[in-house]
Chains A and B, each alone.
Chain A
Amino acid sequence: MALDAIAGGLRRVGRGTINTVTRLGFAGRFFLAVLLNSPAAFRRIQLTLREIYFAGALSLVIILVSGLFVGMVLALQGYEVLTRYGANESLGVLVALSLVRELGPVVAGLLFASRAGSAITAEIGLMKTTEQLSAMEMMAVDPLARVVAPRFWGGLVSMPLLTALFSTLGIFGAYLVGVKLIGIDSGAFWGNMQAAVDFRRDIVNGVIKSVVFGFAVSIIAVFEGYDARPTAEGVSTATTRTVVVSSLAILALDFVLTVFMFRGIGV
């Protein structure tokens, strides 16, 4: 009896492991296939533009509004602490560095995963459920080239632009609160910021982060959609998994990238 339970448990662990590894292998093969089919997405640029519109342009409102409020809150809280040490002139530095290095890419990535990633997964999953993907194959149209690759590239292109807009609006929000509302000197706000923010180390690294996150979210979103079980429940599971897995991937990648980018460089 007890032996049966143990054997059953082992079987479940084994099956789970095999499933996970198989899925990982499929994901790798899928990624290669998407890359191979990417030239088609550029030849028919209209398809990719349409996806940039859905993933990027339609995410503008939430990204801009979130950026503005994150910047304003950061300025209020930062001022509260900095003023204790008489360093409230450094508010610009605090806001710019935290937005450009960390908050911009990470928060924009999380928003992008929930706003655009989930939509991509649901769309592809539903196409699979309603057998549109199979229909395309019947017509000798490769769904990877026609459906998946444009969505992948659309997401990859949109993410760095959205991140830059997020950070910019955040700094503008901090400017509104810090300079216009609280009354920090505008020259000190911008001057200290410019003295502390380095183009190569801060801005370029921030853009690299956003490209990596855009890549992770896009590939996870299209993969989960393509791999979804073709049922209503399967699509909903896949959509949930896109948001969860992308968010975890963003946070984990952010840690790894930060370790490599800012390790052992003073300040």
Chain B
Amino acid sequence: MNRSTIDLWVGIFIIGGIAAIGFLSLRVGNLLTATNAPGYHVEAAFDNIGGLKLRAPVKAAGVVVGRVDRIQLDPKSYQAVVSMRIDQGYQFSRDTIASILTSGLLGEVYVGLDTGGDPQVLADGGRISKTQSAVVLEKLIGQFMFDKAAAGSAK
């Protein structure tokens, strides 16, 4: 076969392969928005984070504004300290409430932020003091049955 024909096909093959890797990285792996957006970190301590995982979304009014990037247990208070990376463009007041929520019954667990009225905003490394823990279904059912039993015996 002609040498230049081979070169042409190898060129097409290599360009196609690199384009495929680019497609996988940018479109599927979402590399552009995942790492390039500048952001700042805030922390929040929860009594119970339920099924929260790393890289879970942080949402305000349902809009994704950041991601969870570290989860640790505070050895003194035995609370879970969740570090979140918030996109630079979003500012939240100092009295923002962070809660662990679930989208739908079987959906993903995420951190919901409800902003407050404080004119001062959270800075990088700031800490959200008002938090609401995850609802643990077993505890909820236990509570419900306990209340039922209490109501029954009171009658």
Contact = CB atoms under 8 A, between A and B. Distances in A.
Nearest to A206: B24
A199 B31 CA distance: 6
Interface string A198-220: 11001100110000000000000
Interface string B113-133: 000000000000000000000
Contacts of A190: 27
B54 interface: yes
Interface in B25-69: 25, 27-31, 33-35, 53-55, 57
Nearest to A51: B10
B17 A165 contact: yes
Interface string A174-212: 000000000000000010011101110011001100000
B6 A53 contact: yes
Nearest to B53: A266
Contacts of B16: 60, 161, 165
A164 B24 contact: yes
B13 A161 contact: yes
B53 A87 contact: no
Given A49-B6, A49-B7, A52-B13, A197 B30 contact: yes
B3 to A, nearest CB: 7
B9 interface: yes
A197 B17 contact: no
Contacts of A57: 9-10, 12-13
A87 B10 contact: no
B28 A194 contact: yes
A160 B17 CA distance: 8
Contacts of B150: none
Contact of A164 (B17, B27, B55): B17
B10 A100 contact: no
A49 B16 CA distance: 15
A56 B29 contact: no
A168 interface: yes
Given A60-B13, A197-B30, A199-B34, A267 B53 contact: yes
Contacts of B20: 161, 164-165, 167-168
Nearest to A95: B28
Nearest to A159: B17
Nearest to B18: A161
Contacts of B13: 52-53, 56-57, 60, 158, 161
A50 interface: yes
A85 interface: yes
B106 A87 contact: yes
A49 B7 CA distance: 7
Given A50-B6, A160-B17, 12 more contacts: A46-B3, A57-B10, A60-B13, A161-B18, A164-B17, A168-B20, A194-B27, A195-B57, A197-B28, A199-B30, A199-B35, A207-B21
16 contacts: A49-B7, A52-B10, A52-B13, A53-B6, A53-B10, A57-B9, A86-B106, A158-B13, A161-B13, A164-B24, A167-B20, A168-B20, A199-B25, A199-B31, A202-B29, A266-B54
Closest 9 CB pairs between A and B? A161-B17, A194-B30, A164-B20, A199-B29, A168-B20, A57-B13, A57-B9, A164-B21, A203-B29
